[in-house]
Structure 1
C-alpha cells in the first residue's frame, strides 16, 4: 500500500530543462505540475475531514439535548440507531478519511514534491553559463536550490490546507451558532475582523524579515563553504582569525534578522492571546444570557463553547501557519532571483549535432570583450581571424592578457561572441548543441579540478562506457599508475576505487594533471586543446608524458597554449598573439629567424619558462563577457 502511493509521482521528471518563469505563481506552478492532481485530491480530503469534525460538534449538541430531555427507559430505543451511526462515523469513517489523506500527503506528495523542485532546478543550474558561476558562491547556489524546493512545497501545502480548513471549519462554526442563536455570530464576526487586522499588521513584516533572513542564511552558508573549499590557502597563510571574522560578520547579519523575527513573534503571541480571550469571554457570556432567557438549549451552549475553544486553539496554529506561509513565500521569491535566470549561453531552437570528420577550425573576424563589475569593458579580440587545418598542431603564444585562454574558452563556447564566428568543418559552433561541441573537444587545463569521487569515476568521465581495460590503459599511458596503485582513502578504498576529495585536494597538482590527461586520452576527441597541460609535472614525468601527448596528437587538430615555449617548439605552427591580434605565425625556426616578439620571449625565458598568465586568470575569474547579464 505504501509503495503504491510512493510511486504515484515520478520525482525526476524527464524532458529538456527549462528556465523557470520569474513571476511568483508561475514559478511555483512550474515545479508543481507533476503533483497538481494529487494536491487537488488532498484538498478535497482535507475538506471532508474538516466537515466531519464540525459535524461531530453538531452531534455533541444533539447528544446533550437528548440526555437532558430523554427518559432512561426508552433512550436507546429512540436514539440507539443515531448513536450507532455516530459511533460508526467516529470509529470507521474518520480514520479511513485520515488514512487516505495521510497516504496521499505523506507518501505521495511530501517527499516527492521537493525532490521534483531540486531535480528540475539542479538540471537548469547545470546549464548555466560559466559567467554565472564566476559571480556566485557554489554553496550559496546549492543552498538556494535546496531551500527553495522545500519552500515551494510548504507554501502550496500550507496555502491549500489553511484555505480549505479555515473556510470549511469556520464556515461550519458560524452556521451552527447562527442556527442556535444568531446573536452568537457577532463575537465570531468581531473576532474575525480582529484576526484579519493582526495578520494585516504582522504577516507582511514577518514576510520581509523572512526574505532578508533567507538571503542572510545563504550568504552565511556561502562564506562557510568558501572557507572549507579553500582550507589549504587559509592554512598556508595561517589566517584562521580572518576567516572567523569573515564568517562571523555573515552570522551577525543573520542574527539581526533572527532577533527582528523573534520580537515580532512575541508581540504577535500577546495580541492573539488577548483576542482569543475576548472571544471566549463574550461567547460564554452571550450563551449564558441566551440560556437564562430560554433562547437556546444546553446542547447549543455546549456546541458554542466547544467550537470557541477549538477556534481559540486553532487560531494560534493558523496565524503561525500564515506567518510560515509568507516566510516560505519570501524564501521562494529570494530563490527566484537565483534560479529563474536565463543562461547567458543557450542552444538555438533546433540546434544541430556537431560532426567532425576532418577537424578544420576557422576563427573568423572574432569580436569579443569582458565587462567588469564596475561596467567598464575590456576588449580582447577586435576582428582576429585564424584558420587551423585538419590535423594541424598549432601552439598559441603571447604575453599575459593577450587572449590565449580566452580563445580556448570561445572555442568551447563558454561565452558567446559579440561578432564574427567560429567554424568547425563548415559548421558554425553557435548553431550546434553545446553538448555535441564539447564532446568533440578534449581539453587539459593548467588548473585541474577533479570531482569528489573515485579515481575511476574521474577518468571515466572522458568516456562513461569505457571498459576497465580501457581505463587502465589510459592510466598507464598518462604515467598515473605509479601513484594510483598506492592510493588509500579514509574508508579503505584503494587504487582506482579511492576517492580524491573535494576538487581533488588529496592529490598533488601533478597527480591531478596526470588523471586529467588520462581522462582526455580516454575521451579520444578529434580536437585537442592543451592549456599548459604539463605545467604541474616535474621534468622527468613531463618528458615521459610529452611522448604520450605527441602520440595523442596524431590525427587530431591541436591547439596548445604554453608558457614554457620549449614544450610547444616542435609543433607544426606557432601563432603569436598580442593585444588580441596575430602578430606572428610560423615554425619555431622561422620565428626565431624573424627576430620579432617570439624571439624576444624565447630569449627572455630562463629554462623555457614564461611568466604566469595573471591577467588572463583575472579575466576568467573577475570579468564576464560584454553584454552578458549575470
Structure 2
C-alpha cells in the first residue's frame, strides 16, 4: 500500500510539474497570440475542407452518376478545385505564422538562457558540465520551440478534422457511428501507455546527448594531448560507448513510436469491420444508400490519419516537455547573490579585512582556508606564496566574490562585501589570471573589453607598450584590428598573457589581482613587464600569487600559506632570515632557475 501511495505521489508531482511547464511555455507563445490565433484560424479553415470532400461522395454517387442533376458535371469538379485551393492557401498561411511564432519564442528563450548563464555562480562552471549547458542551447531550446507550435497545431488541426468527420458520420448514419465510438477508449489507453514510456526514454536521451557533446568538445580542445599520448583509441572507445547508448535510446523511442500507430489502427480496424457488416445489413433492408455508404466510408477513412497523427504527437509532446524542463532549469538556476545596494568606492584610506574567514569545498573533509585573519591597507602590495593546494587562489577569488567564504567575514571599509552591489564592487578590481581567456575578436576589442567609456587607440597602444607588446602588434598587417581567433588560438602563451596584462592596465582599477600574471613569460619579457607592473602598483592595493619568487620580492608583505593558514609573514629579506618554509621555497626556486 505504501509503495502504491509513493508511486501515486510521484505521478501527481510529475503531473504538477508538467502542468507548470506547459503554462510557462505557452505563456511565452501567448505573447504573440494575434499571430498564433490567426495561424490557428487558417489551420481550422483548411481542416474543415477535409470532411467536405468526403461529403461530396453522396451527391456524386446518388445523383451525379444517375444524371438527376446535369449541373453536377461542372459544379462538383469546380467545388473540388475551390476546396483544394482554400486548403493550400490556409495550410501555407497557418504554417508560416506558426513558424514565425516558434522562432520568436526560440529567440526569447535563448536570450533568457544566455542571460541566466552569464549570471550563474562561479562554482557552477567548476562542475565541468559544459556539455549539458551547450546541449540546452543547441538541442533542447530548438526542440522546445519546434514542437511547441507543432503539438498545438496538430492537436487543433486533427481534432477539428475528427470532430468534423464525426459530425458527418452522425449525419449519414448514427448507428454506424456508435460502433466506432465504442472502440475509441481502448485506442486512447494505448496512446497513454506509450506516452509514459516515451517520457522515460526522452529523459535518458537528454542526458546521453549532453555526454556526447562533452566528449566531442574534449576531443576538439584536447586534440594535442590526444595526439601526443596516442589517445585516439581511448577517445574513440569513449565516443563509441556514448554513441551506442544514444542509438539504443533512439531505437527504444523509434520502437515505441512505431508500435503506437499500428496498435491503435488495429484496434480501430475492429470498428471498421463492424461498420461494414452493419452497413451490408442496412443496405439489404434499403435503409442505407450506396451514396450514404461510400460517403460514410470515405469520411471514416479520413479519421485514420488524424488519429495516427494525434497518437504520434504524444511522443513529440514528451520530447518537448523534457526539453522544456531542461531549458527552464537553466533559466531558473540560482544566480550570483547581489542583494547589496551600496556602491563600493576604494579610496586612499580604504582597508580590506579578512575576519575569521574559512572555506571548504563541497564534499571536502577539511577546510581549504582555516579561520584566516588579515588586514590590508590601501596601496599595499601583498603576495601569497605556498605549496600547491595551500589556498592561495581560493583566497584571492573571494575578493571579486567568485568564491564566498563558508564562514567568517570579508569587509571593505568595515562594510561586508555582500552589502555592496556586485557590479560596483568588481569595478574596483582588475584581474590577470594564470589561464588567460580571449574573445574571438580583434586585439583592440579584447584589450578594451568592458570599458565603460570610449577608449582611444592611443590609450590601447600605451597599455600594450607597458605590457611589452607594442612592437609585436605594430608588426602585424592589421595592427590592432587583427583578429585573435578562438581564445587567441594563433597567439603564443606569453602573448596572450601580456594582452591580459594590457587589459588590466587599461582598466586602471584601484585593486589589482595578479594570479601567476607572469607565469607564461620568458625571463626577458618578465623583467620588462614586471617594471611596468611596478609602476602600475604604486598607490594601488595589489594581491599577488606567484611561484616564481623573483616577481614578488618587492612586495610590502609576503604571506606564506600552508593548509589554509598563514604560517609566515614579512618581507622577502625577513622571511629568508627566518629559515622557514619561504626560505625553503626560495632555495628550490634558485636551483630551478
Distance 1:439 1:297, change over 3 A: farther
Distance 1:269 1:179, change over 3 A: closer
Kindly state the Cα deviation for residue 295 of structure 1 after the two structures are TM-superposed: 2.1
User: How many angstroms apart in 2 are the aligned matches of 1:174 and 1:547?
Assistant: 87
Kindly state the Cα deviation for residue 157 of structure 1 after the two structures are TM-superposed: 2.0
Q: Of 40, 44, 69, which residue of structure 2 is paired with 1:47?
A: 44
Of 217-226 and 394-403, the range deviating more from structure 2: 394-403
User: How many angstroms apart in 1 are the aligned matches of 2:591 and 2:484?
Assistant: 32
Q: Of 222, 226, 249, which residue of structure 2 is paired with 1:234?
A: 226
Kindly state the Cα deviation for residue 44 of structure 1 after the two structures are TM-superposed: 4.4
Q: Which residue of 2 aligns with 1:365?
A: 355
Distance 1:84 1:357, change over 3 A: farther
User: How many angstroms apart in 1 are the aligned matches of 2:85 and 2:465?
Assistant: 70
Q: Which residue of 2 aligns with 1:580?
A: 564
User: How many angstroms apart in 2 are the aligned matches of 1:359 and 1:272?
Assistant: 79
Distance 1:64 1:48, change over 3 A: same
Q: Of 275, 297, 304, which residue of structure 2 is paired with 1:312?
A: 304
User: How many angstroms apart in 2 are the aligned matches of 1:154 and 1:123?
Assistant: 22
Indicate whether 1:111 and 2:99 are aligned.
no
Q: What SS class does the counterpart of residue 487 from structure 2 fall into?
A: coil
Q: Which residue of 2 aligns with 1:5?
A: none
Q: What SS class does the counterpart of residue 23 from structure 1 fall into?
A: helix
Of 405-414 and 571-580, the range deviating more from structure 2: 571-580
Q: Which residue of 2 aligns with 1:351?
A: 341
Q: Which residue of 1 aligns with 2:212?
A: 220
Q: Which residue of 2 aligns with 1:620?
A: none
Indicate whether 1:393 and 2:357 are aligned.
no
Q: Which residue of 2 aligns with 1:430?
A: 418
Equivalent positions of 1:195-344 (< 5 A) are: 195-275=187-267, 277-335=269-327, 340-343=332-335
Equivalent positions of 1:475-514 (< 5 A) are: 475-485=464-474, 494-514=478-498
User: TM-score, normalized by length of structure 1?
Assistant: 0.82
Q: Which residue of 1 aligns with 2:32?
A: 38
Distance 1:188 1:499, change over 3 A: farther
Indicate whether 1:473 and 2:462 are aligned.
yes
Kindly state the Cα deviation for residue 85 of structure 1 after the two structures are TM-superposed: 11
The structure 1 segments of at least 4 consecutive aligned residues displaced by more than 6 Å after TM superposition are 82-85
Distance 1:554 1:25, change over 3 A: farther
Q: What SS class does the counterpart of residue 371 from structure 2 fall into?
A: strand
Q: Which residue of 2 aligns with 1:444?
A: 432
Kindly state the Cα deviation for residue 370 of structure 1 after the two structures are TM-superposed: 2.8
Of 551-560 and 501-510, the range deviating more from structure 2: 501-510
Kindly state the Cα deviation for residue 276 of structure 1 after the two structures are TM-superposed: 5.0
Q: Which residue of 1 aligns with 2:137?
A: 145
Q: What SS class does the counterpart of residue 368 from structure 2 fall into?
A: strand
Would you say the 8 A contact 1:215–1:334 is kept in 2?
Answer: no
User: How many angstroms apart in 2 are the aligned matches of 1:331 and 1:313?
Assistant: 27
Kindly state the Cα deviation for residue 199 of structure 1 after the two structures are TM-superposed: 0.9
Q: What SS class does the counterpart of residue 371 from structure 1 fall into?
A: coil
Q: What SS class does the counterpart of residue 528 from structure 2 fall into?
A: helix
Q: Which residue of 2 aligns with 1:23?
A: 17
1:208-246 deviation line (CA, Å, top 9, x unaligned): 222212211221111111121122222232322211112
Q: Of 497, 517, 523, which residue of structure 1 is paired with 2:501?
A: 517
Distance 1:273 1:484, change over 3 A: farther
Kindly state the Cα deviation for residue 486 of structure 1 after the two structures are TM-superposed: 5.2
Of 125-134 and 145-154, the range deviating more from structure 2: 145-154
Would you say the 8 A contact 1:412–1:438 is kept in 2?
Answer: yes
Indicate whether 1:178 and 2:170 are aligned.
yes
Kindly state the Cα deviation for residue 92 of structure 1 after the two structures are TM-superposed: 7.1
Would you say the 8 A contact 1:358–1:425 is kept in 2?
Answer: no
Distance 1:425 1:66, change over 3 A: farther
1:23-51 deviation line (CA, Å, top 9, x unaligned): 34434544553431435514444334333
Q: What SS class does the counterpart of residue 450 from structure 1 fall into?
A: coil
User: How many angstroms apart in 1 are the aligned matches of 2:76 and 2:262?
Assistant: 41
1:577-626 deviation line (CA, Å, top 9, x unaligned): 333233333322333344444334333432687xxxxxxxxxxxxxxxxx
User: How many angstroms apart in 1 are the aligned matches of 2:104 and 2:323?
Assistant: 19
Q: Of 371, 375, 391, which residue of structure 2 is paired with 1:383?
A: 371
User: How many angstroms apart in 2 are the aligned matches of 1:58 and 1:37?
Assistant: 39
How many residue pairs get matched? 574
Distance 1:480 1:285, change over 3 A: farther
Equivalent positions of 1:152-191 (< 5 A) are: 152-191=144-183
User: How many angstroms apart in 2 are the aligned matches of 1:289 and 1:68?
Assistant: 24
Q: Which residue of 1 aligns with 2:448?
A: 460
User: How many angstroms apart in 2 are the aligned matches of 1:309 and 1:379?
Assistant: 72
User: How many angstroms apart in 2 are the aligned matches of 1:508 and 1:122?
Assistant: 30
Q: Of 83, 86, 108, which residue of structure 2 is paired with 1:90?
A: 83
User: How many angstroms apart in 2 are the aligned matches of 1:380 and 1:213?
Assistant: 38
Kindly state the Cα deviation for residue 390 of structure 1 after the two structures are TM-superposed: 1.3
Indicate whether 1:569 and 2:560 are aligned.
no
Kindly state the Cα deviation for residue 200 of structure 1 after the two structures are TM-superposed: 2.7
For structure 1, list consecutive stretches of 5 or more residues without a partner in the other structure: 1-21, 489-493, 610-630
User: How many angstroms apart in 2 are the aligned matches of 1:64 and 1:326?
Assistant: 44
User: How many angstroms apart in 2 are the aligned matches of 1:274 and 1:26?
Assistant: 35
